[in-house]
Chain A
Amino acid sequence: MNKQNNQKTVLGVIKKTLKMHPVIIVFLALLVIFGSIYPGSFFSPINFKAILRQFVTLTLFALGPSFVVLTGRLDLSYVGVWMLGGTLVWLLKPILGIFAIIMIPVTGVLTGLFIGVIQTKAKIPSFILTLSLLVTYTGLAALIAGGYPRAVDGYGFITAPLIRAIPSTFLWSVPLIVAAVFLMKCTRMCVYLNAIGSNEEGARLAGINVDKYKILAFLLSGIFTGIGAIILFQHLGGSAQVELKLNNIVWPLVAIVLGGTPLTGGSGGPQRTLLGAITFTIFYRGLYLTPLHPTMITLLVGIVLIVAIIISARGLKGVTVT
């Protein structure tokens, strides 16, 4: 009765994949466009390395929040975790030595738990909660560090080259990516988070402890951001940062939306974010080769975000948008 996929042919699989992930077309198109305009510089090892480096930054920031976006909520606290965690490392390095780095994941976990509980129980819109928390963290980080970025030594091993031509931070982030994809593909988490994002009331009727899984989503976001921020800490200069940059907040969001996780939740997830991150990176690095002024690039990024959101919000019926 139930005909298993009759499109087992290669063409069928490709067709289906493209239909599910239209961003692949964009990715390939960008590759072709930039590759044909700047064949020399675009495919150079230097650019390849730069692409990988930026991909790592974007992915590690965007991986955690993807879990939250899947439930239809937003978590903007990732930059805050990275900044506050880094500052705590700087503060505690003299006491804990090399183990001070543990402060970053600890910050991440506590943040995730805090946001999850407050969002679920006190019912505050997540974007404003996490944004406020982000600002609070920035203030706290600046307060602790005394207002200046502080260099921290001793974690150079994170970026120490392992294989030539591939940044080692990329290698370090592979296990994290694999863990996220495993969670999404092979555990019931994926089903539950999807269900909550798609129809929260229905998930409740189906007997799922919705509050628990919402908190879990925020917690996972905290954990992944926390662990990712260890790598990012060294990757982005090995110092405790105290200045909040809008780009750091917005680019991961662009990667998530571009990857195909609609901000209303219900489908997608971290595995798609990878696609979004690589597409965005290609887009950005490609534009970087053009004679465009960097501010024009910022402008284009904003437009891409809006267009991506419009496209992902299309076809949502009956959802009240505020």
Chain B
Amino acid sequence: MVMPMDDGLLEVREVSKTFDRVVHALNDVSIEARENEIVGVVGENGAGKSTLMKILVGVYSPDKGEMYHKGKKVPFPRNPKEAARRGISIVYQENGVIPWLKVYQFLFLGHEDKYIKLMKLQMDKMREQACSILEEFHVACNVESFMHELPLSTQKMVEIARAILGVRLESEDTDTTPIIILDEPTSPLTDDESKELFRDLLKMKKNASFIFISHIIPEVMEFTDRVHVLRDGNLVAQYDFSKQKMTEEDLFRAIVGRKSSEYISRTEEKKVAGRKVVLSAKNLTKSGHFYDVSFDLYKGTCMGFFGPAGSGKSQIIRTIAGLLNFDEGELKVKDQELKADELPHVRLARGIGYFSGETGKELFLNWSIAKNISIINMEKILGKIIPVIHFNAERKMAENIVKKLEIKAPGVGTDCYSLSGGNKQKVSVGKWLERNPDILLLDDPTIGIDVGAREDIYEVLLEMKKKGISMILVSDEPKEYSVLCDRIMFVREGRIQKVLGPEEFRKVMST
């Protein structure tokens, strides 16, 4: 897939990268950025976007591939400073801003050597320069204010200005156009802030080219000139919006790209109405994330919130879990109203469990399997008269789970450190199986584990559902919804758009 190149500013061809000689992170990927444009690189989590970017800025070196800068073949940069000399700089997704620095200090951070005269830092000169640079990039802020005082979108803009400035200060070639990589810049921003950011970004286009990494489809459609789609380490498609007419659905399907045969629903169509309502939300709102979310969750059913990243779906589930507070609305468990600022352990006492796919988050890795399973099942292993842990009961409980879920480990005393990712996940599911909560929230339950383990976990979850546990699912994997859910709510920009059954969902996804 070699592009014809006319006005290409930066181009990489057939880049491949494997980790540990096993995982193919990138497979013959070629992308190109032209002068003064915003080019998108989109894909799901794990599609290889960040690996590609880290190669561009010299954090990783590729196994094979070529790099062209202004049509000339150049070696890949070996470190970020070298990349900056070539004119490539990156704005990281998070952690880039230093809250307690003033704007002008932050702008020149790491480049102060250009402003030192007789050991003295020329603050006035820096301040003046900072003013003129911010003016040039149309960033409206006072150079004397602290970074944390600025609105988030302005902070991002200052970061971008800083990246361009870094290229200008470091680059040997003074009139080169800086290439700025934006790694999911809108993820911490609200809708309005994102719009603000893009308005400013369009103005900046005449100063630089941008490589825009995202998985939020609407903003990619609206603001990029061209887009590269990555999936599982391959470049699967590229579109030029000026030449092709596309809809969001098209792009979404290109990103997800599943074959329809994968969407085999294993949920029998059931009547959900008439069942008992276990959890109901009315007009739940967390400003900046989701608005007016109302639903009823019925006993023994699973409901999914489906939507692109940034749609607010994960905030909804985290709010129900007690990790976030909601601003308005009401949340009821069996006619009992929940307070907005309850912590997760209070919600758990009311029967709402939270199961996250990130194993490091929930498991105690230096503990044995048995301890990890028993931590939320303490009542079952404590003595009736004296509250003492009965180690036999604990072991039996864990052995049961290990046998049932076929967790591969030498024994229940094995530390979770030494387990593989899939088995760790099974331990996590196992403890919820034992706990048997009324409601289980599934936040990306199978992220980062292999197909076999995935199927096993689905089976356990389906069995739990049959036992009468109600579930709410949020996932990046569309297939998961059709496997587990009885109803799927489409969420976009924080609002529920429509509700589908699994059959309809399958149809929508496969056409």
Contacts and interface: CB of A to CB of B under 8 A. Distances in A.
A191 interface: yes
A191 B99 contact: no
Given A1-B135, A197-B100, A208 B142 contact: no
B142 to A, nearest CB: 6
Contact of B135 (A2, A191, A195, A201): A2
Given A2-B131, A202-B95, 14 more contacts: A2-B134, A2-B143, A4-B131, A188-B113, A194-B100, A195-B101, A197-B100, A198-B98, A198-B99, A198-B100, A206-B96, A206-B109, A207-B81, A266-B99
A108 B143 CA distance: 38
A198 B101 contact: yes
Contact of A186 (B123, B138, B141, B142): B123
A4 B119 CA distance: 27
24 contacts: A1-B134, A1-B138, A2-B131, A2-B141, A2-B142, A3-B142, A4-B142, A185-B123, A186-B121, A187-B120, A188-B112, A188-B113, A191-B101, A191-B121, A195-B101, A198-B99, A199-B95, A203-B109, A205-B95, A205-B96, A206-B96, A206-B98, A206-B109, A207-B110
B168 to A, nearest CB: 15
Given A188-B121, A207-B80, A199 B99 contact: yes
A321 B123 CA distance: 35
Given A2-B141, A2-B142, A2-B143, A188 B97 contact: no
Contact of A208 (B95, B97, B109, B135): B109
Contact of A202 (B97, B123, B135, B143): B97
Interface in B103-157: 105, 109-110, 112-113, 116, 119-121, 123, 131, 134-135, 138, 140-144
A194 B101 contact: yes
Nearest to A267: B100
A322 interface: no
Contact of A1 (B99, B112, B140): B140
A199 B123 CA distance: 22
B295 interface: no
Nearest to B97: A202
Contact of B109 (A2, A3, A5, A195): A195
A187 B118 CA distance: 10
Interface of A: 1-5, 185-188, 191, 194-195, 197-199, 201-203, 205-208, 266-267
Chain B binding surface, main DSSP class: loop
Which 10 residue pairs across A and B have the least CB separation, nearest first? A198-B100, A188-B112, A266-B100, A207-B110, A267-B100, A1-B135, A199-B98, A201-B95, A195-B98, A2-B131
Contacts of B123: 185-186
Contact of B98 (A1, A185, A202): A202
A20 to B, nearest CB: 10
Interface in B38-86: 80-81
A5 B143 CA distance: 10
B109 to A, nearest CB: 5
Nearest to A262: B100
Contacts of A267: 100
Contact of A199 (B97, B105, B110, B140): B97
A35 B166 CA distance: 54
B96 to A, nearest CB: 6
A186 B101 CA distance: 15
B223 interface: no
B142 A191 contact: no
A206 B141 contact: no
A195 B101 CA distance: 7
B134 to A, nearest CB: 6
Contacts of B144: 5
Contacts of B110: 206-208
A64 B258 CA distance: 62
A5 B105 CA distance: 17
Nearest to A198: B100
Nearest to B146: A267
Interface of B: 80-81, 92, 95-101, 105, 109-110, 112-113, 116, 119-121, 123, 131, 134-135, 138, 140-144
B120 A186 contact: yes
Contacts of B105: 191, 194
Contacts of B135: 1-2
Contacts of B140: 1-2
A206 B144 CA distance: 20
A199 B95 CA distance: 7
Contacts of A201: 95
A17 B141 CA distance: 20
Contacts of A188: 112-113, 116, 121
B99 A187 contact: no
A318 to B, nearest CB: 10
A198 B81 CA distance: 23
Contacts of B95: 199, 201-202, 205
Nearest to A5: B144
Contacts of B96: 202, 205-206
Contacts of B120: 186-187
Nearest to B133: A2
User: Which residue of B92, B98, B138 has the most chain A CB atoms within 10 A of its CB atom?
Assistant: B98
A151 B38 CA distance: 74
Contacts of A5: 142, 144
A187 to B, nearest CB: 5
Given A198-B101, A202-B95, A267-B100, A187 B121 contact: yes
A296 to B, nearest CB: 37
Nearest to B80: A207
A207 B131 CA distance: 23
Contacts of A206: 96, 98, 109-110
Contacts of A205: 92, 95-96
Contacts of B116: 187-188
A207 B110 CA distance: 6
B112 A191 contact: yes
Contacts of B119: 187
A191 B119 CA distance: 14
Contacts of B99: 198-199, 266
Contacts of A199: 95, 97-99
B103 to A, nearest CB: 9
Contacts of A266: 99-100
Contacts of B100: 194, 197-198, 266-267
B176 to A, nearest CB: 19
Contacts of A195: 98, 101, 109
Contacts of A198: 98-101
Nearest to A1: B135
A207 B382 CA distance: 53
A258 to B, nearest CB: 19
Nearest to B108: A191
A194 B113 CA distance: 17
B162 to A, nearest CB: 8
A50 to B, nearest CB: 36
Nearest to A208: B110
B170 to A, nearest CB: 10
Nearest to B134: A2
A199 B98 CA distance: 5
A93 B116 CA distance: 42
A186 B116 CA distance: 9
A199 B146 CA distance: 13
